[in-house]
Amino acid sequence: MLDIQQLRSDIDAVARALATRGVNLDTVTFNALEAERKQLQTRTQELQAQRNALSKQIGMLKSKGEDASEVMAQVGGIGDELKANESALGELLARIEAFMSALPNLPAEGVPEGADEAANVEVARWGTPPSFDFEVKDHVDVGTALGGLDFETAAKISGARFAMMRGGVARLHRALAQFMLNTHVGEHGYTEIYSPYLVNPESMYGTGQLPKFEEDLFAVPRADGGKFYLIPTSEVPVTNIVRGEMVAAETLPLKFVCHTPCFRSEAGSYGRDTRGMIRQHQFDKVELLRIEHPDNSMAALEELTGHAEAILQALDLPYRKIVLCTGDMGFSATKTYDLEVWLPAQNTYREISSCSNCGPFQARRMQGRFKDAQGKKGLLHTLNGSGLAVGRTLVAVLENYQQADGSVRVPAVLVPYMGGVEVLEPTA
């Protein structure tokens, strides 16, 4: 959530920044809400002062043995108006919070302006796309020939946008996740987390999925009439570790890595990437999360992105790094790098990791704060990034490591995780 003081002090600057994200800030509505709030709060303060003064008068009258009934009646009337004002103020503050919760984060200084992905800026490339002397197949055909990808059975069991993996492909998928976890824990200093897959609405609100993006989520009814939500990413449960907490500044940064399935309804994406594993309702991801002091969050974004890049480099998968423009960033992000891996069958780079600094945006929604040794308090900064999306990494390995006879070489760093298997052979 944005700092409401920014809107109160310079709403035009906030409106200009949001406009670069394609968001039209309704300044008329906000100013009207603020005027009503000021009026209610001013009247409430006046009534409180009157009540306090009259209460003192009652005490003085009673001490003198005089009749205080008329003044007491006045206090009663003020109390009724105060109660009505406080109720109205509570409703108004809820409306203001709803207005604020629908606004995305402001882009950081230096983020390129643009309406969509066409304005994203490539900042680096690593590796050389492989060349093949045979007709390249996509991951669906490669995996199917290995007897390892089965979309028909998955569709029978669940429906479209699900996959079933078998044998060597299933093991390769597991190996990728284990390799990522071990690397991030052993080499990059992250603490492994095993988190719930179901979270409450407060957690979804804290990281910005609710209320604006409910249609993208899978809701699970509770017996008590409430809801759980299946996590769209482990960013949600892990970032919410600090919800409502006061963290000692000397313990920062907090660095977490978490492997979970992720569940997304993919609302509005029908017709996009319907073939294969690129866009599914259920997929696995190894997520990197960092809770940082404000002074270090931008440097932490560079480091976190580098940790995701290290996985691609270890797997020898060519990729490019781009910085997203204002119109293409996620709701909670102030700056985002995307890593796009080379997919030979598509002859292009496709997103495999998105690494974002959210600044204090999520922490303000969660009330996640820090306190330093001098007693100074502030909002934490939160960061997240895929390290990596496991299914898309499997897609990249199947396509980049395919061979003419239909077999797939196992990347060298994964051989120990595969029990020494160096090649996956076709079953037919």
Q: What's the pLDDT tens digit per position in 33-52?
A: 999 999 999 988 888 888 88
234 is in an annotated binding site: yes
**What is the average pLDDT value for the chain, to the nearest integer?**
95
> What pLDDT, on the 0 to 100 scale, is given for residue 343?
98
CA distances from 401 to 165, 232, 316, 404, 405 (A): 18, 29, 10, 10, 12
279 catalytic per annotation = yes
125 catalytic per annotation = no
Q: What number of helices (H) and strands (E) belong to the chain? A: 11, 18
Q: Which of 51, 264, 290, 365 is catalytic?
A: 264
Residue with tokens 């809770």: 291
264 is in an annotated binding site: yes
Q: 3-state class of 33 per DSSP?
A: helix
Radius of gyration of the chain measured on its C-alpha atoms: 27
Q: Which of 21, 161, 392, 399 is catalytic?
A: 392
Q: What are phi and psi of 351, to 5 degrees?
A: -60, 135
235 is in an annotated binding site: yes
Residue with tokens 């978490």: 258
Where do runs of H (alpha helix) occur along 64-195?
69-101, 139-145, 151-157, 167-186
Q: Please calculate the CA angle 348-352-355 and round it to the nearest 5 degrees.
A: 125
Strand partners, 149: 165
Read off the pLDDT of each residue in 248-262 and give the average, rounded to a whole number.
Answer: 98
Strand partners, 218: 230
265 is in an annotated binding site: yes
Q: Per-residue pLDDT tens for 115-173?
A: 999 999 999 999 999 999 999 999 999 999 999 999 999 999 999 999 999 999 999 99
Q: Which of 354, 356, 365, 399 is catalytic?
A: 354
Architecture of the domain whose range is 117-424: 2-Layer Sandwich (3.30)
302 catalytic per annotation = no
Contact present, 278 and 392 (Cβ < 8 Å) = yes
351 catalytic per annotation = yes
Q: 3-state class of 264 per DSSP?
A: coil
Fold of 26-102: Helix Hairpins (1.10.287)
* Spatial separation of the C-alpha atoms in residues 352 and 339, rounded to whole Å: 6
* Spatial separation of the C-alpha atoms in residues 96 and 29, rounded to whole Å: 10
Q: Which of 34, 36, 81, 351 is catalytic?
A: 351
Q: Per-residue pLDDT tens for 205-254?
A: 999 999 999 999 999 999 999 999 999 999 999 999 999 999 999 999 99
* Spatial separation of the C-alpha atoms in residues 85 and 96, rounded to whole Å: 16
Contact present, 151 and 163 (Cβ < 8 Å) = yes
Q: 3-state class of 55 per DSSP?
A: helix
109 is in an annotated binding site: no
The amino acid sitting at 176 is: L
122 catalytic per annotation = no
pTM above 0.95, yes or no: no
Q: Which of 37, 279, 350, 409 is catalytic?
A: 279
101 is in an annotated binding site: no
Q: What are phi and psi of 111, to 5 degrees?
A: -65, 130
The amino acid sitting at 311 is: I
Indicate the helix (H) or strand (E) that contains 191.
strand 191-193
66 is in an annotated binding site: no
Domains in the chain: boundaries: 26-102, 117-424
